[in-house]
Amino acid sequence: MVQTDLGEKEYEMLSAAARDEGLTIKEAARKALTEWSVSELDMRRDPLFQLESVKFREKIRVSEIDQLLYSSK
């Protein structure tokens, strides 16, 4: 659970943003906190960015990989 105090201008900005998005103030605050938290994560620790390149036994053109990935079967 998180509770905070906002100044009048901060509250007005949050209230206006929530209204524009069709959200309650609680929903808008949750969305803002979630987006801020994600933006502050150290992406170097994300497993996606720790992948190692694949070594193929033979040379493969990028177009062949694209065809394999994106062509309809």
Per-domain boundaries in the chain: 8-70
- The pLDDT, as a whole number, for residue 27 is 96
Distance CA 30, CA 36 (A): 10
Strands (E) in 1-73, as ranges, are none
Judge if pTM exceeds 0.85: no
**Residue found under tokens 């036994």:** 57
- Residue 60 pLDDT level (bands cut at 50, 70, 90): confident
- The pLDDT, as a whole number, for residue 59 is 85
- The pLDDT, as a whole number, for residue 20 is 97
Please report how many Cα atoms fall inside a 13 Å half-sphere around the Cα of residue 43, on the Cβ side: 4
Q: For 2-58, what is each residue's pLDDT tens digit?
A: 899 999 999 999 999 999 999 999 999 999 999 988 888 777 777 887 888 878 788
- The pLDDT, as a whole number, for residue 73 is 63
3-state SS, 1-46, equals CCCCCCCHHHHHHHHHHHHHHCCCHHHHHHHHHHHHHHHCCCHHHC
**Token pair recorded at residue 64:** 């062949």
Collapse the DSSP code of 2 into the 3-class scheme (helix H, G, I; strand E, B; otherwise coil) and give the result: coil
